[in-house]
Structure 1
């Protein structure tokens, strides 16, 4: 479960450069209530209402594109760091619920 959550967050953070690529995203509300568990115990991050987009500076204009809901690069990096902290809290909550078998 932990690996699938970390992989999902990594996928959101990474830009994919291709014809049908995606921009880097940062999730601003990572918590256990926003993680869905499938029957095979893999997980997916839900409630993408709180996602911000990392728009790189346009080299032709030389200025940062400003759109509603986007962040400048410095803020984007700090939100990514906050995501990792929140991910640690999610892992802690999962591990607190684990029971060890004394046998």
Structure 2
């Protein structure tokens, strides 16, 4: 394992670098949501980017894809998981971010 830095950091398994940013984002959101399943995840895009090891811009784009597919809802500083099962499946290796294939 190696450490990724930033205002919010976590240990990222080395193999996660081979996953797409969308898959890493889904996995991170699932991990964070498990802590308080009935509450939105409270992070800025920059903090989330640090957690997934990507730029803020790329993280915002990937998050937008999840919103368009109705997997999450985003409001200033809060991310609500709308389809936890689909996020988890995508994080585990599905190749497309759509509710019908997850």
Place the TM-score, normalised by the shorter chain, in its bin: under 0.3
Which has the larger helix fraction? 2
* Greater C-alpha radius of gyration: 1
Normalization by structure 1: what TM-score?
0.27
